[in-house]
Amino acid sequence: MRILVFGAGSLGTLVGGLLASVHDVTLVARDPHAARVSAAGLDIVGAESAHASPAATTAESGHSADLALVTVKSFDTARAADALADCDVGAVLSLQNGLTEETLAARLDDPVLAGTATYGARLVEPGRVECTGVGRIVLGALDGGPDPLAERVGKAFRDAGINTLVATDMPRRRWEKLAVNAGINAVTALSRVENGALRSSDANDLAHRAARETARVARLERVSLPNRVAREAVDRVVEKTAANRSSMLQDVAAEKRTEVDAINGAVVDIAAEHGFEVPTNRTLAALLRAWERGEGIH
Ligand SMILES: NC(=O)C1=CN([C@@H]2O[C@H](COP(=O)(O)OP(=O)(O)OC[C@H]3O[C@@H](n4cnc5c(N)ncnc54)[C@H](O)[C@@H]3O)[C@@H](O)[C@H]2O)C=CC1
Ligand SMILES: CC(C)(CO)C(=O)C(=O)O
């Protein structure tokens, strides 16, 4: 399969590097990473280890591929979609956090698949990515149900040794992941604690409230996600990732823009479309945006 990875930073470089063992992969990245991969290939270290030699470029458009993976941060999705509109791709798959597939689907005529990733990745330096945890890619039709295209993409991932599940219930899975991220990411980022601190602190209640509100909005969107399931998902992920610093906490610590708009912000916006108020998500989003503005992050 010819695969374009749009936005090869941490996750895109790891997944693209693994896919390159059996597929024809091109990374769209920024220099000096793109130049380094073009010249000397890339090293995957940590929980996975390999040397891979995908093509790499800084050119955003004009590509042709069977599949485009979108791995930019959620706030760069619209720009990625506009660049992909000038590429000839058979399908698009997002592995991002937050609700980004709608942005892609609204701007592209190509079929858009939904995906989630629990692999951990960190770009250590140009040309070198660390796999900080072997997780799983889950992908499937954006609206749910069986999908031959998703099956083909899933097989291509598995052929490259990537732990992959093709799911027929992506709407529920996306909203459950959104509930987890809405609860854990914003609360840990604002209180500057590891995920495990949510086991016992007052912040635990805040995370549960954000997740329950997200479940309520999912149901308004006709996605079956009971409050209890969303709350238990938060508790399960807190237990499994107790020692982790959430991606949003890492962004705040590095004084980088967060993905709050595609997580808590998306919950607020979709709730508003239904005339529904989500005060916990609204407050969390407002605090994070106030921090971003205060830091001068755009
Ligand atoms: N890193 C991880 O372990 C995981 C990340 N994710 C999600 O995956 C997404 C990506 O995360 P990371 O890889 O950590 O972010 P990252 O910031 O390391 O990578 C994104 C890359 O896209 C590049 N990019 C953005 N616009 C571009 C453009 N127009 N042309 C070329 N390159 C462009 C950036 O330069 C950056 O290197 C996020 O939504 C994140 O939440 C999900 C699961 C795990
Ligand atoms: C699951 C969780 C909360 C793990 O830290 C995550 O997805 C993130 O940090 O973005």
User: Residue 66 carries which DSSP code?
Assistant: S
Ligand 2: residue of 181, 199, 214 to mutate (most ligand atoms within 8 A of CB) is 181
**What count of residues does the chain have?**
298
Tens-of-pLDDT digits for all 298 residues of the chain?
999 999 999 999 999 999 999 999 999 999 999 999 999 999 999 999 999 999 999 999 999 999 999 999 999 999 999 999 999 999 999 999 999 999 999 999 999 999 999 999 999 999 999 999 999 999 999 999 999 999 999 999 999 999 999 999 999 999 999 999 999 999 999 999 999 999 988 899 999 999 999 999 999 999 999 999 999 999 999 999 999 999 999 999 999 999 999 999 999 999 999 999 999 999 999 999 999 999 877 6
- Could you tell me the two tokens for 140? 């499937």
Both 175 and 84 in one domain: the answer is: no
Residue with the smallest CA separation from ligand 1 atom 19 is 9
Both 129 and 245 in one domain: the answer is: no
Task: Give 116's strand partners.
Answer: 138
Closest CA to 77 of 94, 61, 58: 94
Q: What pLDDT, on the 0 to 100 scale, is given for residue 68?
A: 98
Both 55 and 157 in one domain: the answer is: yes
Cβ 117 under 6 angstroms from ligand 1? yes
Both 121 and 187 in one domain: the answer is: no
* Catalytic residue ranges: 177
Both 6 and 111 in one domain: the answer is: yes
Both 12 and 51 in one domain: the answer is: yes
Ligand 2 atom nearest to 247, measured from its CA: 9
Q: What pLDDT, on the 0 to 100 scale, is given for residue 252?
A: 97
Q: What pLDDT, on the 0 to 100 scale, is given for residue 297?
A: 79
Ligand 2 atom nearest to 181, measured from its CA: 3
Ligand 1 atom nearest to 58, measured from its CA: 31
Q: Helix, strand, or coil here: 2?
A: strand
CATH of residue 69's domain is 3.40.50.720
Cβ 13 under 6 angstroms from ligand 1? no
Residue with the smallest CA separation from ligand 2 atom 7 is 181
The total number of structural domains in the chain stands at 2
Q: Whole-model pTM?
A: 0.96
CATH of residue 251's domain is 1.10.1040.10
Q: Which residue has the tokens 């695969």?
A: 3
Query: C-alpha distances in angstroms, 221 versus 2, 144, 155, 214?
Result: 35, 13, 30, 11
DSSP track, 225-294: --HHHHHHHHHHHHHHTTTPPPHHHHHHHTT---SGGGTHHHHHHHHHHTT---HHHHHHHHHHHHHHHH
Cβ-in-10-Å burial (0-12, 13-18, 19+) of 2 comes to middle
Residue 159 and residue 298: Cα distance in Å, rounded? Answer: 39
Q: Which ligand is in closest contact with the Cα of 247?
A: 2
Closest CA to 95 of 108, 113, 76, 75: 113
Both 59 and 83 in one domain: the answer is: yes
Q: What pLDDT, on the 0 to 100 scale, is given for residue 149?
A: 98
- Domain final residue pick, 166, 192, 207: 166
- What's the distance, CA 36 to chain centroid? 25
Both 9 and 150 in one domain: the answer is: yes
Both 147 and 11 in one domain: the answer is: yes
* Cβ proximity of 10 and 96 under 8 Å: no
Q: What pLDDT, on the 0 to 100 scale, is given for residue 298?
A: 66
Both 121 and 7 in one domain: the answer is: yes
Q: Helix, strand, or coil here: 153?
A: helix
Cβ 261 under 6 angstroms from ligand 1? no
Which range of residues forms the domain containing residue 112?
2-166
Q: Quote the ligand 1 centre to 147 CA distance (angstroms).
A: 27
Q: Quote the ligand 1 centre to 141 CA distance (angstroms).
A: 22
* Cβ proximity of 270 and 103 under 8 Å: no
In the chain the first and final C-alpha atoms are separated, in Å, by 36
Q: Quote the ligand 2 centre to 131 CA distance (angstroms).
A: 15
